[in-house]
Structure 1
Amino acid sequence: MMPSLFIAHGAPSLALEENVYTEFLQKLGQELPKPKAIVLFSAHWESTTQLVSSVANYETIYDFGGFQPELYQIKYPAQGQAETTAEVERLFTEAGIPVQTDDVRGLDHGAWVVLRLLYPDADIPVIALSVNRYLTGEQQYQVGQALASLREQDILVIGSGGTVHNLRRLNWESDGVDPWASEFDNWLHDKLVSWDTESLFSYDKLAPSAQAAVPTPEHFVPLLLAMGAGDQNKRASLLFKAYQYGNLSLSCWKFE
């Protein structure tokens, strides 16, 4: 069965970098069974109603500013897949989750930066999904859980975000790790490995340094979405962990 994944997409400049994390993602894409399609929740597509892309051919969105000029030349010409869009829509409807399709929006950097490292040939159909920061943790998990059966159809579910994501506290010159960032991620590791959903759903109240690590929830909720898609066996494993700029987490979790 295909796993579900949570992947930190870091800063947009990750697309131009060669480091241990980009090497890891490239290798991961080679090691995973090739999926029939990819269903990806991006922290950078927010909506209060669950949106599912029905785009046939994606434009590449540069939803950032002030980065290297080369970054704005990158294209990731992914295609959609009507069959998978219809299946995702059906699963959400069966689970009682209001859903709408979107036939316009391209892929934001939360999607294409990750996908380009995993699958540089852009030869796997992609279905982009929005996130809703206003749902409870339990509701986020249930949204992911509604898509669990996709894994049995060789469809890869990805949540793209970041566990520690506080742009105001980044230290662009730092080579170390801020203690509060690792403290939060260590708590998170324990709760994920033990599949302690009760604690995870209340991370903002229970986790140390939660307000510093997650000042706004849109980058955190893709973790709960990917976890929900792995509900059947409830096995979580950390595949990679590092930091940039003092506290920007680069992590990858596998749920199977």
Structure 2
Amino acid sequence: MSTLPTYFLSHGGGPWPFMMDQVGDRYGKLDASLRDIPCQIGVTPKAVLVITAHWEGRDFMLSASPKPPMIYDYGGFPPHTYEVQYPAPGSPELAAQVQQLLEAGGHRAVLDPQRGYDHGTFSAMYPVYPKADVPIVQLSLKYGLDPQTHVEVGRLLAPLRDQGVLIIGSGLSYHNLRAFNAQGAAASHAFDQWLQQTMALPPAQRTAQLLEWERAPAARMAHPREEHLLPLMVVLGAAETDTASMPYHEDAFMGALAVSSFRFG
């Protein structure tokens, strides 16, 4: 199997793939970009490792259940979205392998046999693998949200790409829920333009600039708290010398916001 790319996905809002009758075309472009991923990579991966913005710990945490439950970590959505099931199997074996890779690199990692799929995982993965037939392991962020730490962890994960593991960071390129409308338009566009320019830089310069993301235009308006940006650091670290591309972009997400996803390799 050839080396798989890595992805940073802007995962959309809440359980949107299970509300297509309600949201209409609002998520059509995102849905199409996610459904295209199997065609882009050309193979069925052995498993998917999802770095999720919706889980943080004092150490890096890994979901280790063979049958992860569901976590409905959202509010105000239709009743049926609290009964959604995405029964993709877990992979305790991959979780243990990732634990070994991280600890060999000096980063403590803890297996969590109870952790379920949060909406950043199941909402992003359902369009990609709607049959829920590819095993998934979730990797948390670490408290402190230090960019350098998360890039380093990504570097430790790089060998998995040659072993049939698809590495996905699930977050959002703009995540200010207090300005998730026209009020945030200018900030989202300024920050998104900076992200696109950064992704086009030579690898070493790209990493250096991303580590200094707080210097970007409208950085703290786009990410008052950076947990939805940090998955990008991990997937970049896992494919640090690869060319970046942008498989998904919208200029008017939620009517006004600029959001993007990125692929490395």
2:93 & 2:143 partners in 1: Cα distance?
Answer: 27
Q: After the TM superposition, which residues 63-74 of structure 1 pair with which residues of structure 2 at under 5 Å, given as runs? A: 63-74=73-84
Q: What is the CA-CA distance between 1:133 and the residue it aligns to?
A: 4.6
1:14 & 1:241 partners in 2: Cα distance?
Answer: 17
Q: Could you tell me which residue of structure 1 aligns to residue 45 of structure 2?
A: 35
Q: CA RMSD in A?
A: 1.7
Q: After the TM superposition, which residues 1-256 of structure 1 pair with which residues of structure 2 at under 5 Å, given as runs? A: 1-15=3-17, 16-17=19-20, 19-32=28-41, 33-171=43-181, 178-194=185-201, 195=203, 196-204=206-214, 206-231=215-240, 233-242=241-250, 243-246=252-255, 248-256=257-265
Give the SS at the match of 2:36.
helix
Normalising by the residue count of structure 1, what TM-score does the alignment of the two structures yield?
0.92
The alignment of Structure 1 onto Structure 2 pairs a total of residues equal to 251
Write out the 4+ residue segments of structure 1 that deviate beyond 3 Å after TM superposition.
246-250
2:262 & 2:45 partners in 1: Cα distance?
Answer: 17
Q: What is the CA-CA distance between 1:24 and the residue it aligns to?
A: 1.8
Describe the superposition over 1:88-119 as per-residue Cα deviations: whole angstroms up to 9, x where unpaired.
Answer: 11111111111110000100000000010100
User: Per the alignment, do residues 151 and 54 of structure 1 end up closer, same or farther by CA in structure 2, a change over 3 Å counting?
Assistant: same
Match of 1:6, as an amino acid? F
Contact persistence 1:10–1:250 (CA under 8 A): no
User: Per the alignment, do residues 36 and 21 of structure 1 end up closer, same or farther by CA in structure 2, a change over 3 Å counting?
Assistant: same
Give the SS at the match of 1:157.
strand
User: Per the alignment, do residues 14 and 250 of structure 1 end up closer, same or farther by CA in structure 2, a change over 3 Å counting?
Assistant: farther
User: Per the alignment, do residues 162 and 133 of structure 1 end up closer, same or farther by CA in structure 2, a change over 3 Å counting?
Assistant: farther
2:255 & 2:175 partners in 1: Cα distance?
Answer: 11
Contact persistence 1:165–1:248 (CA under 8 A): no
What percentage of residue pairs aligned between the two structures are identical?
33
2:5 & 2:38 partners in 1: Cα distance?
Answer: 13
Give the SS at the match of 1:230.
coil
Contact persistence 1:21–1:250 (CA under 8 A): no
Contact persistence 1:52–1:89 (CA under 8 A): yes
Q: What is the CA-CA distance between 1:40 and the residue it aligns to?
A: 0.6
Unaligned runs of 5+ in 1: none
Q: What is the CA-CA distance between 1:122 and the residue it aligns to?
A: 0.7
Moved more, 80-89 or 109-118: 80-89
Contact persistence 1:132–1:218 (CA under 8 A): no
Normalising by the residue count of structure 2, what TM-score does the alignment of the two structures yield?
0.89
Describe the superposition over 1:131-153 as per-residue Cα deviations: whole angstroms up to 9, x where unpaired.
Answer: 12514211110011110000000
Unaligned runs of 5+ in 2: none
